[in-house]
Amino acid sequence: MINEVYGYSYRPDWHGDLDTLPEQDSPYFPEQRGAFFVLLNAEDDIIGTAGLRALSSRPDIVALTKGRFPNPDSVASHWRMYVDSRYRRMGLGRVLIDLRREAGTEMGYDSIYFHCDRTRERLRRFWEGNGFSCFLEDEMSAHYAGPIRPVE
């Protein structure tokens, strides 16, 4: 899915967190205040994924966001949200957001951070339509934040 979504293959320096999934010190383990969700179809093929972890697990992102999050331990960060192209526009993205929001609330987070490819307008409309606001853009990414619970 990385290649399908981004147009390039797995890079250990960018995607190495995926290699830690089976390890207890993975940022996605519950003991680390994280979670990783996998959606399967009827044939048990992976059709979607989404990770949740503490923003404080990425000091580089905390520094990049220039103090926007004074308590990064209270901020959940969304990672690795992918939906297989054959299953898009069926509400699965919303399911993955809801799963992360529910888990994040249970873990005590009060807000959410993530970033996405800044050139993907449809994706950005999806995020903005789900209550998130862009607060920073750089060469590659649009950086978003929002409350852990959706605004009604």
Instruction: Please state, rounded to an integer, the average pLDDT across all residues of the chain.
Output: 83
pLDDT in tens, 54-88: 999 888 889 888 888 989 899 999 888 888 888 88
Q: What is the pTM of this model?
A: 0.79
Instruction: Name the residue with higher pLDDT: 24 or 61.
Output: 61
CA distance 58 to 63: 9
**CATH (one of 3.90.1580.10, 3.40.50.2300, 3.40.630.30, 3.30.70.260) for 2-147:** 3.40.630.30
Chain-centre distance of CA 40, in angstroms? 18
Q: Confidence band (pLDDT; 50, 70, 90) for 134?
A: very high
- CB atoms under 10 Å from CB of 86, counted, come to 9
Query: According to the model, what pLDDT value does residue 93 have?
Result: 83
* DSSP string for 57-83: G-HHHHHHTTTS-S-GGGEEEEEEEEE
Domain extents in the chain: 2-147
